[in-house]
Structure 1
Amino acid sequence: MRTLVKVLATIIIITVSCKKELNYNVLTGKWRLAEVTLSTGGFPTTKAVDKSNNNYVHFKSSGDFESNSLTEYTRYEVKDDLIILYKRDNSSFTYAYRLNNQMLYLSPRTVMCIEGCSDSYKKVAD
């Protein structure tokens, strides 16, 4: 009986100690859309995204990019505080990015966001 208890205790300790924590300080990984910040000429307003919204971005260490909302983009490159997403034809779209407080913030660097806009993502996998 004592042996069984020791074996079970060992299995529990190994299982609990092997849980991997997400690394929020690196861009690579899968991120789920959590908030959207918009402005229609006044101060920007931030709204939480409904939990049923499963939009995500996935930055792979190989430079490959995957998303269910930005489906035309297949690769990415990081330059300073910018992420450049590339389509198959090498055309691109640039976002400013920052990692803060377990969140990834992406803000388009185009005329479409004169007043300011951004998407905030929560990391779900490395």
Structure 2
Amino acid sequence: MLKNILSILLVIGLITGCRKDFEYARGPIANSIVGKWAFTEYFMSPGDAGNWYKAKPRGRVIHFKADGSFSATREGFKQFTKYELLNTGKIRLSAADSGNTMLLVFSIDTNNAWLFTYPGESICIEGCSDKYRLVK
């Protein structure tokens, strides 16, 4: 009986310990890109009004540090190690090894702790945007 109880407690502990849920910041927040942002949703409009869809897989983040360094667990961003604010609403990510860069346009909803990014070098014919939530 004791073995069964311990086994159940172990399974519950493993399940809850391995979750990728974050504790999100609540607004209002500073109007700053600096911080860890969890990818939560993306917008697509295939010729209609468009919809927001839940990000899959969950738990992917991008992290802008105050010293200009950058890290990410999200595909498509992992190669980048630095960022530079070009002007209000534009940021350039760069990869030290390859010299690759990516330009993003962004806006911050300070009341709700959201970061929205849009491609800065290509045009989304069908509309596109990514939505991130600031992690505490």
Offset of residue 25 of structure 1: 2.5
Taking only the aligned residue pairs, the percentage that are identical comes to 28
Letter in 2 for 1:110: E
The answer for unaligned runs of 5 or more in structure 1 is 1-20
Partner residue of 2:95? 87
Paired with 1:121 and 1:81, the residues of 2 have a C-alpha distance of 15
Paired with 1:32 and 1:64, the residues of 2 have a C-alpha distance of 17
1:56 paired residue among 42, 61, 71: 61
Structure 1 stretches of 4+ with a deviation exceeding 6 A read none
Query: Contact (CA 8 Å) 1:34, 1:122: kept in 2 or not?
Result: yes
Paired with 1:82 and 1:53, the residues of 2 have a C-alpha distance of 26
**1:4-38 deviation per Cα after TM superposition (whole angstroms, max 9, x unaligned):** xxxxxxxxxxxxxxxxx774421100000111111
1:33 paired residue among 26, 39, 64: 39
Paired with 1:112 and 1:53, the residues of 2 have a C-alpha distance of 26
Paired with 1:49 and 1:63, the residues of 2 have a C-alpha distance of 26
Higher strand fraction: Structure 1 or Structure 2? 1
1:42 paired residue among 22, 37, 48: 48
Offset of residue 112 of structure 1: 5.5
Name the SS for the 2:78 alignment partner. coil
Partner residue of 1:109? 120
Paired with 2:133 and 2:117, the residues of 1 have a C-alpha distance of 12
Q: Tell me which structure has the larger Cα radius of gyration.
A: 1
Paired with 1:104 and 1:35, the residues of 2 have a C-alpha distance of 11
Paired with 1:26 and 1:104, the residues of 2 have a C-alpha distance of 10
Offset of residue 109 of structure 1: 1.9
Query: Contact (CA 8 Å) 1:25, 1:102: kept in 2 or not?
Result: no
Paired with 2:120 and 2:78, the residues of 1 have a C-alpha distance of 19
Residue correspondences, number? 104
The answer for unaligned runs of 5 or more in structure 2 is 1-24
Alignment TM-score, normalising by the size of structure 2 = 0.68
Query: Contact (CA 8 Å) 1:39, 1:45: kept in 2 or not?
Result: yes
The RMSD of aligned alpha carbons is: 2.0
